[in-house]
Amino acid sequence: MRTIAVLTSSDASYQAIRADTSGTLLQRLAGAIGTVVAYRVLPDEADQLISQMREWVDQGIHLILTTGGTGLGPRDVMPEATRAVIDREIPGIPEAMRQASLAHTPFGMISRAVAGLARTTLIINFPGSPKAIEQLWPVVLPILPHALDVSQGKTQHEK
């Protein structure tokens, strides 16, 4: 069973000023490839985001999907928090996401989302917009089963 955690970075959702529709959407979408075993909404505070991701990595969660905090705002810190946790960056995933987003909006080029591996846990940053998540999920979904299998040592590359 693939285990998945969803982490929302949003001051407004953390303070219950705004519902976390992005995190809820990611949980629903992620159900297609595994079981969501953890979900958390945290403020845009790097130390708290880092701590939560490290806790899930220590628990052996297979996939962490984050939403929010990837833009240019002064409190957008998810990419920095993710880089503090991962051992190896996977630039192709956010590159593909940015490229796909440009078909819908020029603002895709200012996304700072990152993806990478922390030990065997795959971490992918998504934007905070539910509309953007709906547009980008089909871009990421086809590679997830293979990426998760390889990161867990469950598949061999063809020779």
Tens digit of each residue's pLDDT (9 = 90 or more) over 39-85: 999 999 999 999 999 999 999 999 999 999 999 999 999 999 999 99
Mean of pLDDT over the chain: 96
Model confidence, pTM = 0.96
Q: What's the whole-number mean pLDDT along residues 107-134?
A: 98
CB 23 within 8 A of CB 78: no
Phi-psi region of 69 (alpha: psi -120 to 50; beta: other; left: phi over 0): left
Entry field: residues in the chain: 159
Tens digit of each residue's pLDDT (9 = 90 or more) over 123-138: 999 999 999 999 999 9
Q: What is the pLDDT of residue 46?
A: 98
Q: Which CATH architecture has domain 3-151?
A: 3-Layer(aba) Sandwich (3.40)
